[in-house]
Structure 1
Amino acid sequence: MPEITMYIVQGSPDSGQVEREYQVPYRDGMSLLDALLWIRENRDPTLSVRYSCRSANACKECSASIDGKVGYLCNTKAHEGAEVHVRPIPGRQWIKDLVTELD
């Protein structure tokens, strides 16, 4: 089965940051948000990620640093065999895992 590899920064200001690696089954049309929700449902139920509209309506809740560029997880498509690095957005107050204060 095709996969994508996701490297996700997890932790909190109290516990510090660690980058964890996850292998996620790839399916056509999946977004990075879909992949993160798969991780939370199947590998790490403690993974924190904020989302709301799931349709790129600019709610900004699922914004993150994706391979060094800020973007929305809900409208960034996953690609078979890709390696993706996801981090909280630099400069925002960090709460836990990928959750930061919204602007």
Structure 2
Amino acid sequence: IESHDVPYRDGMSVLDAVMWIRSHVDSSLAIRYSCINANACKECMVLVNGKTQYACTARLDANGTLVEPLANKRLVRDLVTDIVPPKERLEAAARLEEPRRQPRDLDRFMVD
């Protein structure tokens, strides 16, 4: 477990703290997110002091906050876990092998 001191501000989210660490301490720290403080994308889910929460809405505790990746998901890196179930991953990979256009459609792109 790594420990980082973050300049605390009242109302600061866990995502704010993680982004501060990425900007000032460890630029390689990985977390998945799309929105900030809006709880709209549902991508920043992590364990905060042992409870599953969204990093963008969970508030930082001035006395310390433990942030961990989700324990029930496959760890990709740092705080990033796999959000797609294995069956869906395999189905998506199988679809990539299918041609995107039918051969009859390709004729219009051919140049002599």
TM superposition score category, shorter chain reference: 0.7 to 0.9
Normalising by structure 1, we get a TM-score of: 0.75
Residue 90 (structure 1) aligns with: 71
Larger of the two Rg values belongs to structure = 2
Q: Which runs of 5+ in 2 are unaligned?
A: 85-112
Identify which of structures 1 and 2 has the higher relative contact order when contacts are C-alpha pairs closer than 8 Å and 6+ apart.
Answer: 1
Normalising by structure 2, we get a TM-score of: 0.70
Is the Cα contact below 8 Å between 1:32 and 1:77 reproduced in 2?
Answer: yes
Runs of 4+ in 1 over 4 A off after TM superposition: none
Tell me the C-alpha RMSD between the 2 structures: 1.1
The structure with the largest strand share of the pair is 1
Residue 31 (structure 2) aligns with: 49
The structure with the largest helix share of the pair is 2
The whole-number CA distance in structure 2 between the counterparts of 1:89 and 1:26 is 24
Q: Which runs of 5+ in 1 are unaligned?
A: 1-18
Residue 79 (structure 1) aligns with: 61
Equivalent residue of 1:39, what SS?
Answer: helix
- Over the matched positions of the two proteins, sequence identity in percent amounts to 41
